[in-house]
Amino acid sequence: MKKTFLILKYELITLLTRRTFLFLAFGLPLLGVLVFFVISVVRGDDAGTSSSAAPSQENELISEGYVDEANIISSLPEDVSPEHLRAFASIDQAAQALEVGDIEGYYIIPEDYLNSGEFIYVSPDRTPLSSGGQEWIMRWTLTVNMLGGDVERASKVWELVDLQIKRIDSTDEHDRFAEEDCSRPGYTCESNMLVRLMPLTVTVLFFVFLTNGSGLLMRNVTIEKENRMMEILMLSVDSKEMMAGKIIGLGIASFLQVTVWVGSMFLIMKIGSQTLNLPEGFSIPPSMAFWSIIFFVLGYAIYASLMAGAGALVPSAKEITSASFLMMLPLMIGYFVAVTPIGGESPHGAISTFFSLFPLTTPVMMVMRVTVGGVPTWQLILAVVLMVLTAVVIVRSVARLFRAQILLSGQPFSPRRFIKALLSNS
């Protein structure tokens, strides 16, 4: 156990002292959080608050006037002050008030406004509507008056909050309409692409973390084998202790990387909810983080062991790329299924369920399904059991392989030789 801890400590310290790893693992996500925090402060975003249906009057308002030639406005809404929107009987009166500085601009509501939907704004400012103008007050006043002074109904028309988006779900014998759900990540949210693509984003991140973490272990083993350090270690350290130390050490570093990135995503969505335009009521269930961590740890144990075993057979660092591709091929297949419409739009279909239960594709496929939600508990438990059994078998097989790696060191890598070595008891 002591030797395992020493190897673990060495691998962990060596990796955490690399500037490139520190920047990619911790610096980049924390920089993203800082950027969104600054943007939120500048824009006045406040997580947990929602905008009202009626127009906002928080900004400093200017005094303007209007000439209603269409006779639509009978009274101003309660939230519009006569000091900010004054009525004039004619264009000449409004123009005179503008000339003497009583108002900074005025609106002309033409007689055919109900047909054209257009009004005129007169101001000395060349770009009044984009800078000093406040045409929303005029639009809001017209909306309230055209609806008979009903502010509540006008608010609904103003924001169109009752718009419902439905999608066609063909998983049953008869096509049926399913209401949009933007309360959690998933394909059921049609109106917000960020929420809809979040399962895809999480799947991509987990795929990158697994391949990078496992690749580091393979590269370390190959380099130590190539410079004969592995042979020296084998004289004083049991193969199982050495494998455990390397896998756990680099696994801790990879786990810290995942934790920082996932935590940064949570902070960004919390701090910049307004900036990201997240739907009201959107949240990420804690169960998603729980199961994602479990599948990442088990997935890392499986693929890190496979990559370490492949590294023991690779004669030189030049052949790492081809060997790693073969080792990661099952994970790539699961990744392809998860990010394409085959699994992305049918996360609980037969194909998605199969690949989420197959241990070599579970890490990415099940994480995608967990992000979407609705995975039966028995499938989660079964997937964990199958991955644990697979990890135990692979770790033991790779440990046996390390005892024979000196005999195989001069031979080129091939999948057939790798499988034969794993199954060997000698």
What pLDDT, on the 0 to 100 scale, is given for residue 41? 72
Q: Do 123 and 14 share a structural domain?
A: no
What per-residue string of b and e applies to 18-41 under the rule 16 or more CB within 10 Å gives b? eeebeeebbeebbebbeebeeebe
What does the alpha-carbon distance between residue 92 and residue 106 come to, in Å, rounded to a whole number? Answer: 11
Mean pLDDT, rounded, for 324-346: 78
What pLDDT, on the 0 to 100 scale, is given for residue 273? 63
What does the alpha-carbon distance between residue 379 and residue 9 come to, in Å, rounded to a whole number? Answer: 36
Residue 392 lies in a domain: yes
What pLDDT, on the 0 to 100 scale, is given for residue 45? 47
Q: What is the pLDDT of residues 336-376, one digit of tens each?
A: 887 777 665 677 788 888 998 999 989 888 888 888 878 89
Mean pLDDT, rounded, for 149-159: 74
Residue whose C-alpha is closest to residue 179's, from 192, 189, 170, 194: 189
5-14, 44-53, 299-308, 347-356: which range is least confident on average?
Answer: 44-53
Q: Are 251 and 152 in contact (CB under 8 A)?
A: no
Q: Do 271 and 364 share a structural domain?
A: yes
CB atoms within 10 A of CB 229: 12
Q: Say which residues have a Cβ less than 8 Å from residue 237's Cβ, sequence separation at least 6.
A: 3, 7
Q: Do 374 and 328 share a structural domain?
A: yes
Instruction: Please tell me the total number of residues recorded for the chain in this structure.
Output: 426
Residue 303 phi/psi, 5° resolution? -80, -30
Is residue 125 pLDDT above 70, yes or no?
A: no
What does the alpha-carbon distance between residue 277 and residue 36 come to, in Å, rounded to a whole number? Answer: 13
Q: Do 411 and 293 share a structural domain?
A: yes
What does the alpha-carbon distance between residue 224 and residue 44 come to, in Å, rounded to a whole number? Answer: 54
Q: How far is CA 105 from the centre of its chain?
A: 45
Rg (Cα) of the chain, in Å, rounded? 32
Say how many domains are in the chain. 2
CA atoms in the 13 A half-sphere facing the CB of 96: 6
Residue 410 phi/psi, 5° resolution? -90, 0
- CATH of residue 120's domain is 3.40.190
Q: Do 19 and 148 share a structural domain?
A: no
Amino acid at 307: M
What angle do the packed helices 239-271 and 286-313 form, to 10 degrees?
Answer: 140
H-helix segments, 63-163:
91-100, 113-116, 135-146, 151-159
Is residue 187 pLDDT above 50, yes or no?
A: yes
Q: Do 391 and 257 share a structural domain?
A: yes
What pLDDT, on the 0 to 100 scale, is given for residue 269? 73
Is residue 382 pLDDT above 90, yes or no?
A: yes
Percentage of the chain lying above the pLDDT 90 cut: 6
Residue 45 lies in a domain: no
What does the alpha-carbon distance between residue 213 and residue 307 come to, in Å, rounded to a whole number? Answer: 10
Domain encompassing residue 72: 64-159
Q: Do 253 and 300 share a structural domain?
A: yes
Q: Cα dist. 83→63, 65, 317 in Å?
A: 6, 9, 77
Residue 61 phi/psi, 5° resolution? -95, 155
Residue 176 lies in a domain: no
Q: Are 241 and 233 in contact (CB under 8 A)?
A: no
What pLDDT, on the 0 to 100 scale, is given for residue 370? 85
Residue 399 lies in a domain: yes
What does the alpha-carbon distance between residue 54 and residue 158 come to, in Å, rounded to a whole number? Answer: 7
Model confidence at 30, pLDDT cuts 50, 70, 90, reads confident
Q: Are 46 and 23 in contact (CB under 8 A)?
A: no
Residue 59 lies in a domain: no
What pLDDT, on the 0 to 100 scale, is given for residue 380? 93
Q: Do 150 and 228 share a structural domain?
A: no
What pLDDT, on the 0 to 100 scale, is given for residue 276? 65
Residue 54 lies in a domain: no
Residue 171 lies in a domain: no
Q: Do 282 and 139 share a structural domain?
A: no
Q: Do 225 and 149 share a structural domain?
A: no
Q: Do 140 and 70 share a structural domain?
A: yes
Residue 260 lies in a domain: yes
What pLDDT, on the 0 to 100 scale, is given for residue 402? 64
Is residue 304 pLDDT above 60, yes or no?
A: yes
Residue whose C-alpha is closest to residue 397's, from 325, 302, 296: 302
Asked which of 159, 180, 207 is the last residue of a domain, the reply is 159
Q: What is the biggest distance separating any 2 CA atoms in the chain, rounded to whole angstroms?
A: 103
What pLDDT, on the 0 to 100 scale, is given for residue 379? 92
**DSSP-assigned letters across all residues of 51-88:** --SSPP--SPP--EEEEETT---SS--TTS-TTTEEE-
Q: Do 326 and 266 share a structural domain?
A: yes
